């Protein structure tokens, strides 16, 4: 057992984590209306083979309408292949994939109309201005010429690039390019956004900006399906996750449910002024306590970790057991277990 | 059905490509370089011809100089178009892949035919501009005589047809081959094939059929053999823009006919001469290459429409 399971709250947090904690409160996803009975993306026994390599192996993916779905997996797990099939850029070897109810095999045009796709790289037309870039793609999505100026202004405002309207695209920073690319995906008001590593290679601030934008878009009713290596991003903005390994879906569902399923016990860290043995004895009597571990002292104070399996009422009982006995408690907090723990538990480290 | 001109001008790829091509100094530099080369060559040719005419006869044959100047200017234009048209098109689709914008385009609602047409039209529009800008240079020969408007018309049609054909070949290879360099090499291979390869084949045919010719070059064989040789020679002439232009203008000067010319069978072993009317080579060349271009356009569109198997 590690002493500090959550890297964000460790004694030596990364600069990145610090900036995120200082600048950016966790976005509120409670207003999102996720319809778990209606799947906007669905794959049925999907396979993709490259010669002997089985990149996607009987994948059954289901993305609920209105969700922010994080698609995670190790390198070579089949994330990009799945996304390329969903965006009609590649044919599956067998199986079916549907987006907004349209088959990628037989209705690719309808699929394209309903998706906004952002690949994991930014395709640059270095000889275009920002507004020209959006105008070109809006025209490619058959937006009438008369509607485009207003649309471009709205999109630039949304991604906070209005002030760079007349700049050449190649003069933008990577984060700005990524935001512009996101604006491009919205030109035709698609139902679903399919984003491959949207925060890849961005600095912490740009990552936060992209994450905030994604949450805003989700609040506007878009379903967001994105892949990421950065589990912190997934944990922060996703309502649902799917974990893929060796081309197979190893786990998928609402993020809280996944945490509960894959990490059966909750961790409560308690800081005491003394009487540790007595506290342990009292706590062990509460129903649901599995084990109690000693942690390193912090500023001369004793700390213990209680691994607990139960509901919130049980956690309240833990605190009551200590305070009713007069044991001095200075801190009592449940540790949020990060998605990395869920990920490590779900995957086996298999790479195709 | 939508107006094709409106469809073309409303094509987002046309607007994007033309905007990109005409932005900055590049378009101006290429146009200036093109005209400087054509102009420089015309001046050298004029000075050379003028000097040669004076030396040989003591008099200047304006018509001869005019015709040579015209042929020389068209020749250099043809040479430049052969290099420029593939350069403008062989990287159009592969360049999208290399810039990583191909996937972005493929997931939009832009039809494949509009993508290909937009790329082709914008490249050819610039070639058209170059040829149009060089017309005053060709027209210099009118001052000296020896050429007329039909010559100008034929030469312009042949140049544009060559540009369209090499343009579609360039786009085809660009869609077929993922990288620009091999796509360019393949396109230049085809360009060399039609410009030099057909001439080599013509010489080979001449050598092979030499035993059947008399001292004047007339065929001394059966009517069937003469037909076969005529078709073989005609095909090779009509495949090559230079020989097409040469023979078409020759027919125009000799027979005063823009659209057709008369060929006289020498009779050979039968001993009786007869005449057939054949379409002028520029007409065959234009129809043939425009049909092939349309096929290449179709193949390119089909290639882009295919969703990648891998």
Q: Could you tell me if A305 and A295 are in contact, meaning their C-beta atoms sit under 8 angstroms apart? A: yes
Q: Which of B15, B99, B308 sits opposite A123 (nearest CB)?
A: B99
Average pLDDT for residues B114-139, to the nearest whole number?
89
Nearby residues of A60 by Cβ (< 8 Å), 6 or more positions away: A43, A44, A45, A46, A249
Confidence of residue B296 (pLDDT cuts 50, 70, 90): very high
pLDDT at A21: 47
Which chain B residues have a beta carbon less than 8 Å from that of A140? 12, 105, 108-110
Options 3.40.50.300, 3.40.50.970, 1.10.3470.10, 3.10.580.10; CATH for A15-261 is 3.40.50.300
Res. A19 pLDDT band, cuts 50 70 90: very low
**Which residue ranges does chain A devote to CATH 3.30.70.260?**
264-336
Gap between the Cα atoms of A10 and A24, Å rounded: 18
Measured between CA atoms, the residue of chain B closest to residue A188 is B108
Residue B272 has pLDDT above 70, yes or no: no
Give the lowest-confidence range in A31-45, A285-299, B206-220: B206-220
Q: How many CB pairs under 8 A join A and B?
A: 74
The predicted structure's pLDDT at residue A11: 40
| DSSP code, position B194 | I
The C-alpha of B118 sits at a distance from chain A's nearest C-alpha, in angstroms, of: 12
Is residue A187 pLDDT above 50, yes or no?
yes
Query: Is the interface score ipTM higher than 0.90?
Result: no
User: Helix, strand, coil shares of chain A as percentages rounded to 5?
Assistant: 35, 30, 35
Q: Which residues is A50 bridged to in the sheet?
A: A53
Name the band, by pLDDT with cuts 50, 70 and 90, for residue A58: very high
* A166 or B1, higher pLDDT: A166
pLDDT tens-digit map of B223-255: 778 788 888 888 899 999 999 988 888 888 777
Residue A101 — pLDDT band, cuts 50, 70, 90? very high
A198-253 tens-digit pLDDT? 887 777 788 888 888 888 889 988 999 999 877 777 877 888 999 898 888 888 88
Task: Give pLDDT tens digits for B157-172.
Answer: 999 999 999 999 999 9
pLDDT at B182: 94
Per-residue pLDDT band at B1 (split at 50, 70, 90): low
**Which CATH number applies to A264-336: 3.40.50.1370, 3.20.20.450, 3.30.70.260, 3.40.50.12160?**
3.30.70.260
Residue A342 confidence class, pLDDT cut points 50, 70, 90? low
Answer with the residue of higher pLDDT: B69 or A45: A45
**Cα(A348)–Cα(A169) distance, rounded to whole angstroms?**
42
**A183/chain B closest Cα distance in angstroms:** 13
Q: Does the pLDDT value for residue A16 go beyond 50?
A: no
Res A17: pLDDT: 47
Mean per-residue pLDDT of chain A? 83
Residues of A in contact with B10 (CB under 8 A): 145
* Whole-number Å distance between alpha carbons of B294 and B300: 10
Of residues B15, B19, B307, nearest to A91 (C-beta): B307
Chain B residues closer than 8 Å to A123 by CB:
99-104
Which chain A residues are within 8 Å of B101, Cβ to Cβ? 123-125
Residue A349: pLDDT above 60? no
Band of the pLDDT at B301, cuts 50, 70, 90?
Answer: very high
> Is residue B293 predicted with pLDDT exceeding 90?
yes
Task: Show the beta-strand stretches assigned E in chain A.
Answer: 35-50, 53-59, 62-65, 68-72, 94-99, 102-103, 115-118, 192-196, 223-227, 240-245, 248-254, 266-272, 289-298, 301-308, 329-335
- Start-end ranges of CATH 3.40.50.300 in chain A? 15-261
- Inter-residue contact A222 to A191 (CB < 8 Å): yes
Query: Maximum distance among all alpha carbons in chain A?
Result: 76
B175-214 pLDDT, tens digit each? 999 899 999 999 999 999 999 999 999 889 888 887 777 7
Q: Does A120 touch chain B (CB under 8 A)?
A: no
């Amino acid at each position: 057992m590690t002493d500090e399971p959550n890297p964000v709250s460790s004694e030596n947090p990364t600069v990145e984590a610090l900036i995120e904690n200082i600048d950016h409160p966790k976005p509120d996803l409670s207003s999102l209306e996720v319809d778990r009975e209606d799947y906007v993306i669905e794959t049925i026994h999907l396979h993709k083979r490259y010669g002997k390599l089985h990149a996607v192996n009987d994948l059954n993916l289901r993305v609920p309408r209105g969700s922010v779905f994080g698609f995670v997996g190790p390198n070579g797990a089949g994330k990009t292949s799945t996304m390329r099939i969903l965006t009609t850029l590649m044919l599956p070897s067998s199986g079916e994939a549907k987006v907004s109810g349209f088959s990628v095999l037989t209705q690719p045009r309808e699929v394209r109309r309903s998706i906004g796709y952002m690949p994991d790289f930014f395709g640059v037309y270095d000889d275009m201005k920002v507004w020209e870039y959006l105008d070109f793609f809006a025209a490619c999505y058959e937006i009438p010429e008369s509607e485009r100026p207003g649309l471009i202004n709205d999109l630039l405002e949304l991604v906070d690039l209005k002030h760079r309207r007349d700049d050449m695209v190649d003069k933008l920073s990577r984060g700005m390019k990524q935001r512009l690319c996101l604006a491009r995906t919205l030109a035709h008001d698609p139902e679903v956004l399919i984003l491959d590593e949207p925060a890849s290679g961005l600095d912490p601030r740009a990552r936060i900006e992209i994450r905030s934008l994604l949450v805003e878009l989700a609040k506007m009713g878009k379903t967001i399906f994105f892949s990421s290596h950065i589990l912190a991003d997934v944990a922060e903005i996703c309502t649902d996750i799917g974990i893929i390994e060796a081309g197979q879906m190893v786990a998928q569902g609402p993020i809280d449910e996944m945490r509960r399923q894959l990490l059966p016990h909750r961790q409560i860290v308690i800081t005491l002024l003394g009487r540790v043995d007595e506290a342990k004895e009292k706590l062990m009597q509460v129903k649901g306590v599995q084990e109690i571990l000693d942690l390193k002292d912090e500023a001369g104070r004793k700390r213990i970790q209680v691994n607990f399996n139960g509901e919130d009422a049980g956690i309240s009982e833990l605190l009551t057991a200590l305070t009713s006995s007069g044991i001095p408690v200075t801190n009592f907090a449940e540790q949020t277990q990060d998605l990395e723990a869920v990920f490590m538990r779900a995957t086996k480290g298999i790479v195709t | 059905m939508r107006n094709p001109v409106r469809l073309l001008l409303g094509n987002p790829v046309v607007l994007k490509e033309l905007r990109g091509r005409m932005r900055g100094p590049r378009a101006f530099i290429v146009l200036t370089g093109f005209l400087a080369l054509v102009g420089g060559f015309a001046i050298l040719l004029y000075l050379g011809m003028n000097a040669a005419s004076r030396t040989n006869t003591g008099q200047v044959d304006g018509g001869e100089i005019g015709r040579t100047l015209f042929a020389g200017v068209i020749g250099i234009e043809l040479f430049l178009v052969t290099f420029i048209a593939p350069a403008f098109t062989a990287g159009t689709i592969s360049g999208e892949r290399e810039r990583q914008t191909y996937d972005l385009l493929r997931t939009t609602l832009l039809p494949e035919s509009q993508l290909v047409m937009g790329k082709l039209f914008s490249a050819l529009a610039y070639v058209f501009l170059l040829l149009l800008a060089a017309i005053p240079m060709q027209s210099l020969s009118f001052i000296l005589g020896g050429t007329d408007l039909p010559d100008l018309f034929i030469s312009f049609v042949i140049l544009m047809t060559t540009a369209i054909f090499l343009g579609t070949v360039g786009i085809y290879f660009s869609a077929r081959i993922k990288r620009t360099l091999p796509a360019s090499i393949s396109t230049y291979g085809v360009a060399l094939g039609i410009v030099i390869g057909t001439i080599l084949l013509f010489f080979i045919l001449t050598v092979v059929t030499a035993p059947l010719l008399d001292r004047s070059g007339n065929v001394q064989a059966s009517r069937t053999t003469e037909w076969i040789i005529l078709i073989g020679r005609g095909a090779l002439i009509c495949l090559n823009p230079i020989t097409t232009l040469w023979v078409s203008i020759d027919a125009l000067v000799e027979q005063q006919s823009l659209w057709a010319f008369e060929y006289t069978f020498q009779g050979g072993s039968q001993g009786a001469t007869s005449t057939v009317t054949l379409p002028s080579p520029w007409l065959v060349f234009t129809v043939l290459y425009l049909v092939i271009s349309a096929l290449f356009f179709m193949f390119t569109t089909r290639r882009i429409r295919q969703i990648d198997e891998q």
